Structure 1
Amino acid sequence: MKKVRLALLVGCLSIVASLFFLTGTTSANQKTNLLNPSYTKLNGKKVVDWKKPTAKKYVDLTNVPAKDLKIVVNQKHETVNIYKNNKLVEQFLCSTGKRTKETATPVGKFAIEPEHGTWFYNAKPDVAEGARNFVSFKDHGVYLFHSVVMNHQDNQPIMSRQGRLGHPNSHGCVQMSLPDNVYFYNTFSQPDKVGTKVVIEPFSK
């Protein structure tokens, strides 16, 4: 009888564990099988290729209302995580702010704002760089989601700043690979996506 009870207990625990795995383990705090980055060589080092997607596929969220979506930026793993009805449906690598007081990405709860555009350039001497396809999430045009950084001459990536996807590399914004950025912009620059929740998690979480 004891063996039967033990077997039943083990079986119940296995079912509970399986249910938890299926319904609750996907978190922005881990990299998942939604990621599929490509790699290239830059200055003799293997780096994430900023010219290719880092997501395995792009989920069409065109008709999903803002209230059903949430964007979580995990700075520990440098990932952008998109949730639909609290289920993780999209994930790709990013670069948040470098770990200094002046360049840190703000931590907290924000929202997608109306400000967006296909190009900007910051001419400040300590910045002197631009980017494609920006969408604001804080201070109406100050903190943005955007592409890897570009130069002013021909709007092409600044090579000395590439190869850092998956690592802190910005002045406070959230940088993405060129294809990931196009997907993000096409999704969240739409008027019906204004108000989408944005959560920026700290490095330590």
Structure 2
Amino acid sequence: MATANNRSKTTKNTSNPEAISSHMRTPIDWHKSSETVPYPDLSKVKNFWIKVSLKKNRTYLYDGQKLIYTMYSSGGMYTKNPQTGKTESMTPIGTYYAQAERGNSFFNQSLGEGANYYVSWLNHGTYLFHSVPTKAGGTYNVKEADKLGKSTGSHGCIRLSIPDAQWMSSHLPVGTKIKIVN
């Protein structure tokens, strides 16, 4: 009986690599990397791409079909689309590509928040991967940061832990495919 259960778990993990990652840091700590293992060395990755799951609050890094790293993330809040009447994420769904715009910090005056370590993936600075949000003075907004990996909260960007965002800003090659799914 124990053997059948173990085999079942193995099959589940192989057929859905996103189901469980034994290296995920628990509890979630937005000050630390999402996994307890080193970030992937992209010089050894042949077919690098990213999948963001808005409902699971996860960002998955892939080499072809092989999952190589998982990041806790938080995407756009869900709002009612006035044209369709459907509830949709403020984060656009679809396939996009990493852009050249990136930097150490920004502040959006109209939203009253900013972030650190950003890289653009749509509309050249409109939609970004970035750290959990900062307030006007540059301190982290703890209430919003604590949503990381648990719920949505952004205005459309993908929020990451501080080290995950820093790694992404420093290492994400321009042109990397990014698939955003609900």
TM-score bracket relative to the smaller structure: 0.7 to 0.9
What's the CA shift for 1:57? Answer: 1.5
- Spell out, residue by residue over 1:134-188, the C-alpha distance to the aligned partner (whole angstroms, 9 max, x if none): 01111111000000001121x1201332310121011110001112212222211
Match of 1:157 in 2: 140
Match of 1:107 in 2: 93
Rounded Cα–Cα distance in structure 1 between residues aligned with 2:13 and 2:73? 26
SS in 2 for 1:100: strand
Asked if 2 retains the 8 angstrom alpha-carbon contact of 1:58 and 1:90, the reply is no
Task: Give 2:120's match in structure 1, choosing from 124, 136, 145.
Answer: 136
Name which of structure 1's ranges 115-124 and 67-76 shifts more when overlaid on structure 2. Answer: 67-76
Amino acid corresponding to residue 171 of structure 1 in structure 2: H
Structure 1 residues 76 and 117, CA gap change in structure 2 (3 angstroms): same
Amino acid corresponding to residue 197 of structure 1 in structure 2: K
Task: Give 2:63's match in structure 1, choosing from 84, 107, 116.
Answer: 84
Match of 1:44 in 2: none
Segments of structure 1 that go 5 or more residues without pairing to the other structure are 1-13, 39-47
Larger Rg: 1
Segments of structure 2 that go 5 or more residues without pairing to the other structure are 82-88
Name which of structure 1's ranges 175-184 and 70-79 shifts more when overlaid on structure 2. Answer: 175-184
Rounded Cα–Cα distance in structure 1 between residues aligned with 2:157 and 2:167? 17
Task: Give 1:179's match in structure 2, choosing from 150, 154, 163.
Answer: 163
Is 1:147 aligned to 2:127, yes or no?
no
Amino acid corresponding to residue 15 of structure 2 in structure 1: T
Give runs of ≥4 in structure 1 deviating > 4 Å: none
What's the CA shift for 1:104? Answer: 1.1
Structure 1 residues 182 and 110, CA gap change in structure 2 (3 angstroms): same
Give the TM-score, by structure 1 length: 0.73
Rounded Cα–Cα distance in structure 1 between residues aligned with 2:139 and 2:20? 29
Matches within 5 A, 1:4-19: none
Q: Number of residue pairs matched?
A: 168
Rounded Cα–Cα distance in structure 1 between residues aligned with 2:11 and 2:159? 31
What's the CA shift for 1:101? Answer: 4.8
Structure 1 residues 34 and 72, CA gap change in structure 2 (3 angstroms): farther
